[in-house]
């Protein structure tokens, strides 16, 4: 079996001429315009079109690139996890794809010479308590020619999940595990200084890498490939790049290499594949060469900062214009809260529009409510309310400034805010 990496979570798994392509994100401007590839990709649809099947892990736009997906033939087999509300299946069906291989959690399909098993979210959240859980992510195990590969993408496993995977599939040749963190924290949080943002970004990256090394241990992996969460901000938000929780290939490689050595009896090696780099797991041939001519980051950034986001091309709108829609969105969010019994002692402010998330029947008399302030372009907010843009995409894309008191993360609030729309 051979792996060929493109970027982020886009990878081709090949065995005996059969090719399975995962999460082909090639189009810059994901997450409502802000996510870009750097170095810029040279790979185009023409380079990846001749594959036998696709695996789409979930709906986030750095995995589900609709511009690219629309160019594939509509009868191409697509592996998807049949789990939860099936937003991804609904989207692919609406695009006209007719050959969806819908697998349940832990179900295996034969794809040419490969056995492919899909997994639902391993944990509700890898680091924080979450009652609502993970709604959309999936993971894939590919087995062929006596080799086993885990593509975890954004479905971060813990050690217990790693042990379960090892018990079921045996020793892993490659584990593709997320080394970075996509999201607004700490880059968008106004309650943090620049130095605090840098410190927090490093802390979160190291926490992620330590946890994933522990998972790789349990799976007795030969290679650990830092995977997914690889992006750079363009447009007016590019100044936030130094504060993102993006590890970078070299940092991750050095971190992994420093942990694993013969001294500790562990021989897991970091696998760094640049665009179109490949590893033949049978012969051991490693090709990680890269094109010689790459635009400098400074020159790229100068150009990228000129790019406008979709909502920046929309007509201006005032908060007064949005009052009725905001009230309707609050009612819809309340229905989500009732369904999931989610009533935090929290006051939310969105561009000055305030509401309390707690149940008025609950006794919060002796506790001061937490507070979080969201600030975003009114045009972006208008698009969220109309469902032209998505709150989570804006948040992950760093379009929303935040201030929270106290500075405590609530993963369930991230899920809840996805339902703030008319």
> What is the residue-level pLDDT of the chain in tens, covering all 422 positions?
999 999 999 999 999 999 999 999 999 999 999 999 999 999 999 999 999 999 999 999 999 999 999 999 999 999 999 998 889 999 999 999 999 999 999 999 999 999 999 999 999 888 888 888 787 899 999 999 999 999 999 999 999 999 999 999 999 999 999 999 888 999 999 999 999 999 999 999 999 999 999 999 999 999 999 999 899 999 999 999 999 999 999 999 999 988 875 545 557 899 999 999 999 999 999 998 777 789 999 999 999 999 999 999 999 999 999 999 999 999 999 999 999 999 999 999 999 999 999 987 666 666 889 999 999 999 999 999 999 999 999 999 999 999 999 999 999 999 999 999 99
pLDDT of residue 261: 55
**What's the pTM value of the predicted model, to 2 decimals?**
0.95
DSSP 8-state symbol, 145: T
Q: Which of 106, 210, 211, 117 is nearest to 158 (CA)?
A: 211
pLDDT of residue 156: 94
Please list, in sequence order, all residues whose beta carbon lies within 8 angstroms of the beta carbon of residue 293, skipping any fewer than 6 positions away. none
Using left for φ > 0, alpha for ψ between -120 and 50, and beta otherwise, residue 224 falls in beta
Say if residues 15 and 51 touch (Cβ distance below 8 Å). no
Residues 116-147 as b/e (b if ≥16 CB within 10 A, e otherwise) read bbbbbbbeebbeeebebebebbbbbbbbbeeb
pLDDT of residue 166: 97
Per-residue pLDDT reduced to its tens digit, 192-203: 999 999 999 999
pLDDT of residue 17: 97
User: Which tokens sit at 113?
Assistant: 């010479």
pLDDT of residue 381: 98
- How far apart CA 177 and CA 225 sit, in angstroms, is 6
CA distance readout (Å), 333 to 125, 326, 385: 22, 10, 12
DSSP state string for 186-233 = TTTBTTS-HHHHHHHHHHHHHHHHHHHHHHHHHTT-SEEEEES---EE
pLDDT of residue 125: 85
User: Which tokens sit at 163?
Assistant: 């042990």
Say if residues 171 and 220 touch (Cβ distance below 8 Å). yes
pLDDT of residue 291: 77
User: Which tokens sit at 203?
Assistant: 């802390």
pLDDT of residue 267: 76
- How far apart CA 286 and CA 289 sit, in angstroms, is 9
- State residue 32 phi and psi, 5-degree precision: 55, 35
């Amino acid at each position: 079996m051979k792996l060929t990496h493109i970027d982020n979570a886009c990878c081709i798994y090949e065995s005996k001429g059969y090719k399975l392509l995962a999460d082909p994100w090639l189009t810059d401007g994901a997450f409502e315009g802000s996510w870009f590839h750097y170095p810029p990709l040279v790979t185009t649809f023409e380079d990846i079109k001749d594959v036998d099947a696709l695996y789409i892990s979930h709906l986030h736009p750095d995995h589900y690139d609709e511009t690219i997906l629309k160019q594939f033939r509509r009868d191409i087999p697509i592996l998807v996890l049949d789990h939860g509300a099936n937003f991804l299946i609904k989207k692919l069906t609406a695009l006209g794809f007719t050959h969806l291989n819908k697998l349940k959690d832990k179900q295996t399909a034969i794809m040419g010479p490969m056995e492919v098993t899909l997994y639902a979210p391993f944990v509700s959240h890898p680091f924080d308590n979450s009652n609502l859980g993970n709604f959309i992510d999936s993971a894939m195990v590919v087995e062929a020619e006596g080799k086993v590969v885990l593509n975890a993408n954004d479905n971060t496993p813990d050690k217990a999940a790693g042990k379960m995977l090892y018990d079921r599939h045996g020793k892993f040749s490659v584990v593709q595990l997320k080394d970075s963190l996509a999201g607004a924290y700490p880059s968008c949080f106004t309650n943090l200084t620049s130095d605090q943002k840098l410190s927090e970004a490093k802390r979160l990256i190291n926490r992620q890498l330590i946890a994933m090394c522990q998972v790789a241990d349990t799976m007795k992996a030969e290679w650990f490939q830092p995977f997914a969460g690889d992006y750079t901000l363009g447009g007016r938000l590019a100044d936030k790049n130094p504060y993102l929780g993006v590890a970078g290939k070299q940092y991750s490689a050095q971190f992994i290499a420093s942990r694993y050595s013969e001294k500790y009896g562990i021989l897991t090696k970091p696998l760094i594949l640049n665009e179109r780099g490949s590893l033949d797991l049978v012969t051991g041939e490693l090709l990680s060469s890269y094109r010689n001519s790459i635009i400098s980051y400074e020159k790229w950034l100068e150009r990228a900062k000129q790019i406008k986001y979709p909502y920046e091309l929309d007509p201006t709108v005032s908060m007064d214009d949005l009052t009725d829609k905001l009230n309707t969105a609050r009612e819809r969010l309340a229905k989500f809260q009732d369904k999931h019994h989610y009533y935090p002692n929290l006051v939310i402010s969105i561009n000055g529009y305030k509401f309390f998330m707690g149940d008025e029947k609950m006794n919060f008399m002796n506790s001061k409510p937490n507070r979080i302030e969201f600030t975003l372009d009114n045009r972006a907010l208008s698009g969220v309310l109309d469902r032209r843009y998505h709150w989570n995409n804006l948040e992950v894309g760093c379009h929303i400034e935040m201030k929270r008191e106290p500075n405590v993360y609530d993963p369930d609030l991230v899920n809840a805010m996805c339902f703030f729309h008319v």
